[in-house]
Structures are given as C-alpha cells and as structure tokens.
Amino acid sequence: MRGKRTQYEIFWEILTYCKTPRLFTSIIQRCDLNSKIGQEYLNFLESKGYISRMNEGDRTFFLTTHAAHEFLDLFMKLYLALFNNSPEFKI
Amino acid sequence: MERNAEIKFARELKSFYSLTFISLVFGAIAMGLSVALGVTNILTFINQWSPVSLIPACIGFLAFPFTIKWLLSGVEIMDGVNEIKDEYSKVKKGANGEALTTLIVRTMAQYRAKKSTISKLILLCKVAAICFIINGIFVLIQLVLNMPADGLLLATSLVAALINLGIGAVGLYIPRSFQKYSSCWEVRIQGSTLAEKELSSLMEGK
C-alpha cells in the first residue's frame, strides 16, 4: 500500500524508478498504479520530455531522460528542505 | 543537509514506532482490564446483590468497545510504520538524497492515508482513558467511604485504583503524542502544497 500521493510524488516515483530502463508492468507494479492511470502518467511525462520509450524487439522500455533531472533535483531539494525545516517529532 | 535529514528521519521513525508499540500494548491491557472490570463487577452484583458494583461494571463494558477500536487502529497504524521501517532498512547503509526523499514521500503518503485512523485513535484513547480514570477515582472513593479493616483487601483496592489511574494516564499521554506527530506532518503537508506550486511552474515552463 503506497498511501495517498500527490501527482508530483507519483512523477517522482516513476522518474526515479525509470533511471534504468523499465517495462510498463514493472512501473505500475512498483509505483502501485493501475494500468489506465499508469499509462496516463507515462504519456504525460513523455509529453514533457521527461521519459522516453525504447523498443527492444517486441518489448517497450521506459527511461528517464536528462531533461527530467531538473524536476528531480528541484523535487528532492524542496522535500528535503521541508523535512529539515519542520519541527521534529519526539516522544 | 541529507545527513541531517537522515538522522532526523531515523529518529522520528524510531519514536513513532515506539509510540505505536506502546499504544498497542496499552490498548491490549486496557481491553483485558475493561473485560475483567465488567465481568467481575457484574458477578459481584449478581452474587451479592450489590448495586454499587453496577457502576464499575458499566464503566468496564462501556470502555470495552473503545479499547477494541483502540487496538485495531493501533494495528492499522503499525502496519504502515512497519512498511516504512522495512523500506528504510533496505536503504539504511547507502541512504542518499534520492532514497531519503522517496522515504519522505512514502511516509507522507502513509500519513495522508492513516490520518483519519490517527484521529480516531486519539479520540478512542481519550474516551477509554477517561473511563479508567473515572473507575480509579470511584475505587478510591469507595475505599475512603468503606475503609477495609483487612490489610490485604486495602492493598488490593489501592493497587486496582492505581492500575486504573495508570492506564488512564497512559491513555491520555498516547493521544497527546499522536497529536504531536500529526502536527509535525501537517506542517510538512502544507509545505508540500507550496512545493507543488514550484514544481507545477517548472513543468508548465516545459
């Protein structure tokens, strides 16, 4: 169970996972998405140039492009900062 | 920054795991105690026809469903904590910024998913705690009004009152800690909404 994620958090999960070429089924399984939603996310990321398709025989792999690094770097910077700058939970 | 965030993440995870564990243990004790309280006092009422036994019996039976729910909510939360703990143990040795960010994202997602369970647990713990405190006070009042001459009976009643008050106190402490946990993550959720705006403008520029 992945819980409730925002669309940007799902983009992050897909893009970090696809840093090495991945099959569609692996992506939806790893990112806990159904195939329809998974396809929508991949199409969107592809339209932004963040992900590319590679065909190897009859199999299609998805790979994060260099252009996505800007998004990934900003996302990591923002999330680490918001975690670091918030009060710490202690019992 | 990454190292600090990792240390903080590990500490928070440990604290939350401990809190959930304490909650589970005390939830189980409270459940057992509520049954014992209800059953022993209802038997006393039946055997000795002592109407005063009806009060703790009612408190016990009233607290019982709340303690069951307390326990079940604790199990549900523990399930999520274990998932995060497992993921963290996989990346622990080589936790870089990316792995840590993924863990933060997943913990945030878990918090969003379990938010209503945490709120429920906070309320249930409080209700159950109040039941035990009322019963503890009731035992003490009974003790003052009818001071037993038998030392053993006096000691047993005192211990019973202290156990009830103790469970009640822990039952009030647990929701306070869950509230603290919630407020920490609420700040982060608000921060993520602001972060989303920045990410959105970056993507729109594409």
Supply the pLDDT for residue B16: 95
- Judge: B4–A84 Cβ closer than 8 Å, yes or no: yes
Number of domains in chain B: 1
What pLDDT score does B134 carry?
Answer: 93
Q: Is residue B169 part of a domain?
A: yes
Domain boundaries, chain A: 7-80
- Please report whether residue B203 resides in a domain: no
Contact in structure between B103 and B87 (CB atoms under 8 Å) = yes
Of chain B residues 31-70, which have a CB less than 8 A from chain A? none
Q: Is the pLDDT confidence value at A2 over 70? A: no
pLDDT of residue B4: 81
Q: Is A20 an 8 Å CB contact of chain B?
A: no
Q: Which residues of B11-25 are buried (b: 16+ CB within 10 A; e: fewer)?
A: ebbebbbebbebbbe
Q: Which of A31, A44, A73, A83 to mutate to test the interface with B (most CBs of B within 10 A)?
A: A83
Contact (CB, 8 A) for A51 and A64: yes
Question: B1 falls in which pLDDT band (50, 70, 90)?
Answer: low
C-alpha B178: how far from chain center: 7
Nearest CA in chain B to A48: B206
* A40: confidence class by pLDDT, cuts 50, 70, 90: very high
Neighbours of B37 (CB within 10 A): 25
Is the CB of residue A73 less than 8 Å away from at least one CB of chain B?
no
Q: Which helix (H) or strand (E) holds A64?
A: strand A59-64
**pLDDT (0 to 100) of residue A91:** 82
- Domain contains B109: yes
Q: Are A51 and A14 in contact (CB under 8 A)?
A: yes
Residue B205 lies in a domain: no
The answer to whether residue B181 is domain-embedded is: yes
B8 is a domain residue = yes
Tell me what pLDDT residue B113 has.
92
The answer to whether B106 contacts chain A (CB < 8 Å) is yes
Q: What confidence score (pLDDT) does residue B98 get?
A: 92
Q: Which residues of A touch B83 (CB under 8 A)?
A: 1
Q: Any bridge partners for residue A60, and if so which?
A: A55
Taking 90 as the threshold, does the pLDDT of residue B205 lie above it? no
- Using an 8 Å CB-CB cutoff, list chain B residues near A73: none
Q: Is the ipTM beyond the 0.90 threshold? A: yes
B206 within some domain: no
Report yes or no on B204 lying in a domain. no
Q: What is the pTM of this model?
A: 0.86
B75 lies in which domain range? 2-198
Q: How confident is the model at residue B206 (pLDDT cuts 50, 70, 90)?
A: low
- What residues in A contact B113, CB-CB < 8 Å? 1, 3-4
* Å between A9 CA and nearest CA of chain B: 7
For residue B94, what are the CA distances in angstroms to A72, A79, B18, B107? 19, 19, 24, 19
pLDDT tens per residue across span B84-120:
999 999 887 777 889 999 999 999 999 999 999 999 9
| CATH placement of domain A7-80 | 1.10.10.10
Contact B100 A84 (CB under 8 A): no
Which among A5, A72, A90 is the nearest to B109, CB-wise? A5
